[in-house]
Amino acid sequence: MLYVVIAFLFLAILLYFLLGGADFGAGIIELFTSEGNKSGTRKIMYQAIGPIWEANHMWLIIAIVILFVGFPVIYSDMCTYLHIPMLVMLLGIMARGTAFAFRSYDAIKGERSQNFYNHIFVYSSFITPLFLGIIAGSAISRQIDLHAATFTAAYLFSWLNYFSVAVGLFTVALSGYLAAVYLIGEAENQNDVKRFIRKAGQMNVIAVVFGGLVFITAGVENIPLPYWIFGNPVSLSAVIAASISLVIQWVLISKGKKKIIRLSAGFQVTMVLLAVGYMHYPNFVMIKGGGNLSLLTLHATSKTIYDLGVALLVGSLFILPSLWYLYYSFQKKADDGKH
Amino acid sequence: MNDFAAARSQMAISLGFHIIYSCIGMVMPFFMAVSHYKWIKTGNIVYKNIARAWSKGVAIFFATGAVSGTILSFELGLLWPKFMEHAGPIFGMPFSLEGVAFFIEAIALGFFLYGWDRFSDGFHWFTGLLVGISGIASGILVVSANSWMNNPAGFDYVNGQYLNIDPIKAMFNGSWFAEALHMTLAAFSATGFAVAGVHALMIAGKKNVLFHTKAFKIAIVFGAAAAILQPFSGDIAAKNVYKTQPTKLGAMEAYFHTQAYAPLVFGGLPDTVSKTVKYGIEVPGLLSFLVHDNFADPVNALDKIPVKNQPPIGITHFAFDLMIFIGSAMMLLGLLYFLALWKKRSWLDKKWFLNLFILAIPSGFIAVEAGWIVTEVGRQPWIIYGIMRTSEAVTPMPGIRYTFYLFTAVYFTLSLAVIFLLSRQIKMVPELYDTKK
């Protein structure tokens, strides 16, 4: 049952990255859209993510609950040493969620108030995945020091390093890319389609650049990232698969095949996460001095893991079909509307 | 302010606001579903408009409730890492299930809010109802987790070790039912009175009277019924507290000396040095009656417990009395409403009658906050009653007072924004929903 729980943990993280990421990305795209095109982007985005965005963010809750029920020591250490980036991420989540709801449900659509919500929405859409990425980067950067003596060593430099920040920026770029790809299929006219294709291209280039930056900063921080990725066959094949799907996307994007591009972009990100996850598995957090917080040793007792696994399995019987039906319904209705 | 006090204050602020958002977010869908049902049955467009107007409120409160709840699930670890390290695997079951319920709520809400004229009436109505049902389920599960902190079960505590962990037993601890019932009724009565009061305000101002009268009726029937049932659940809760947490009961009642014919003290200023209550109104035997159902049996008091294991008495007692006072007033107001409905219909649009309900807008939420102060402050100095002290659980990170200031500012701003948005929704009712146009 431990493996069921671990599988759900990674599934929740992956889905949050894909669905929540695309969701953050929508705000990032809006942030980097020229003033003239903003309202058009906003309208498409509202229709595309309005019904589903709340559900997309539930994956974070699922991941956190699995972590604190199943792997409490890992959760408690992360909460202690990554307190500050988690705090910023939380404020981002709060600002973003409320700003999106407010701009949709303000009964009076005044220009100033809407502008205000938009500003909060786009900046928090940028900051939240940045800090999510920083947290993820910090988990593997070996900068968390369980024996740190000073405030800065324990709570600041645990996450404030070149590598973690580079991972944060890479996360932002990937989110933007996922959103652009998603929005291509949602656009209602040829102009918008072209615009989102261009955005997807830009975001893709930025993602590749930041991906390179991740490797460079890993070198600076003495993190053996290349060895981790190229040193085992699974990570290596995942990276190759990600690169191939990147090329496929380049070819298909100009042809506007929305379903295949979406799948391929999702596949690409999944492969990136697989490469990263596999090379560390079962270690979830890597700490200074060579220690690891492993999922296979720091788990709760078997009774807790068993009950948690049952809850997740039964819960997913309810969640997954209804979630699928939600996506399907609004996808179908949107398509019907277009013809 | 030291870091420990700051951490407790930050938790209190976060919970205090989350409770309001989530109560409204989980109860209003039921009002909405009733109105929606009436529209489907009668075809009266006013009911559809009410359901639509309320659904905007639900969306706003769901969003704020969801983000503040997400923040709380992190704050448990950010502020109390040692607590979560040990408690997570024991009391995590309701949180896992709550994650599922919350997820379903979010999915159902997506269907409902964006589903007008897209799905069949029956399916669309059902998704609205499902928002409420899964919301209430979430609430009950979270309260069950809290009840475990008051009445820990499902493990053996041996030499500082947590052994033989059974998350299911922990979830169904001896206090979960009393707490969950009390909180669910509180959510219905607080939200019912608040929503009804806002509509009463509009009726009194002669604005869209037909719309607001129908809306008032749906909300107040829920609120009044819950307020009338609440004292009974309060009795169950009080007996349960005496059985499981005598320190909390002692603090609630400012009851210092064990005695037969134990008195109940209303109001007054508890003095922990002289162990007396000044200026209180004492009713002999009433506490014995509440606890044992007879006036004579002795009730154990705070003198049975070392001072270092006692909670702050003044604030717990004051909060408890405030809750009882408001709860009783709301019960009477609820009875008055049903009296008017059955015998004195002419009262329903009288100014004085409406004014009573306008006055009661915040009452339920003040009582809810007071009740949670009793629960949480009354459990101190323990975070897990009798097992782990709150001071042992706090994060080692210094400087928590700054995050406390930050969160306080954020929550107040957020609440002002919500009030601003709701007032704009209400202001736009004539434009959006006036059927005469």
pLDDT tens across the length of chain A (339 residues):
889 999 999 999 998 988 888 888 888 888 888 777 777 777 777 777 777 777 778 889 899 999 999 999 999 989 889 999 999 999 999 998 888 888 888 888 888 888 888 889 889 999 999 999 999 988 888 888 888 888 888 888 888 889 999 999 999 998 988 888 888 877 777 787 888 888 888 888 898 899 889 889 888 888 888 888 888 888 888 888 888 888 887 777 767 667 788 888 888 888 888 888 888 878 888 888 778 888 888 888 888 899 899 989 998 998 888 888 888 887 765 566 544
Is residue B131 included in any domain, yes or no? Answer: yes
**pLDDT value for A132:** 93
Confidence category of residue B177, pLDDT binned at 50, 70, 90? very high
Is B303 among the domain residues?
no
- Between A192 and B172, name the one with better pLDDT: B172
Across the interface, whether the CB atoms of A51 and B114 are under 8 A apart is answered: yes
On the question of pLDDT at B351 being above 60, the answer is yes
% of chain B at pLDDT higher than 90: 60
Q: In terms of C-beta density within 10 A (0-12 exposed, 13-18 middle, 19 or more buried), how is residue A136 classed?
A: buried
Per the CB < 8 A criterion, the answer to whether A211 and A273 are in contact is no
Q: Does residue B7 surpass a pLDDT of 90?
A: yes
- Given this model, what pLDDT does residue B22 score? 93
Residue B351 sits in which domain range?
3-241+314-433
Q: Are B237 and B179 in contact (CB under 8 A)?
A: yes
B100 → closest Cβ in A86, A105, A319: A319
With beta carbons less than 8 A apart as the criterion, state whether B186 and B364 touch: yes
Highest-pLDDT range among A183-197, A262-276, B234-248, B274-288: B234-248
Q: Assess: ipTM above 0.85.
A: yes
For A230, phi and psi rounded to 5 degrees?
-90, -5
| Among A residues 40-69, those touching chain B with beta carbons less than 8 Å apart | 50-52, 54-55, 57-58, 60-62, 64-66, 68-69
Residue-level pLDDT at A339: 44
Residue B417 lies in a domain: yes
Please give the angle made by the CA atoms of B369, B140 and B214, to the nearest 5 degrees.
Answer: 70
Cβ atoms of B159 and B109 within 8 Å: the answer is: no
Q: Which of A159, A142, A275, A166 is nearest to A216 (CA)?
A: A166
Of B85, B166, B406, the CB nearest to A72: B85
Q: Which residues of A touch B66 (CB under 8 A)?
A: 54, 57, 97
Chain A 320-339, residues with CB within 8 Å of chain B CB atoms: 322-323, 326, 329-330, 333
Name, of A276-280, A319-323, B298-302, B327-331, the range with top average pLDDT: B327-331
> Under an 8 A CB cutoff, do B81 and A100 touch?
no
Residue B302 within a domain: no
Instruction: Specify whether the CB–CB gap between B69 and B101 falls below 8 A.
Output: no
**pLDDT band with cut points at 50, 70 and 90 for residue B437:** very low
Residue among A73, A307, A326 whose CB faces B111 most closely: A326
Residue labelled with tokens 């107001």: B333
Q: At residue B435, does pLDDT exceed 60?
A: no
Domain assignment of residue B113, yes or no: yes
The total number of structural domains in chain A stands at 1
Full residue range of the structural domain in which residue A327 is found? 2-338
Q: Please identify which residue in the block is written with the tokens 């893991």.
A: A305
Q: Does A150 touch chain B (CB under 8 A)?
A: no
Q: What H or E segment, with its residue span, contains residue B126?
A: helix B121-150
Average pLDDT score over residue span B349-356: 89
Q: Is residue B284 part of a domain?
A: no
- In a domain, residue B292? The reply is no
User: How many angstroms away from the CA of A246 is the closest CA of chain B?
Assistant: 32
Mean pLDDT for B227-234 is 94
Angle (CA) B326-B202-B55 rounded to 5° is: 85
Specify if B294 maps to a domain: no
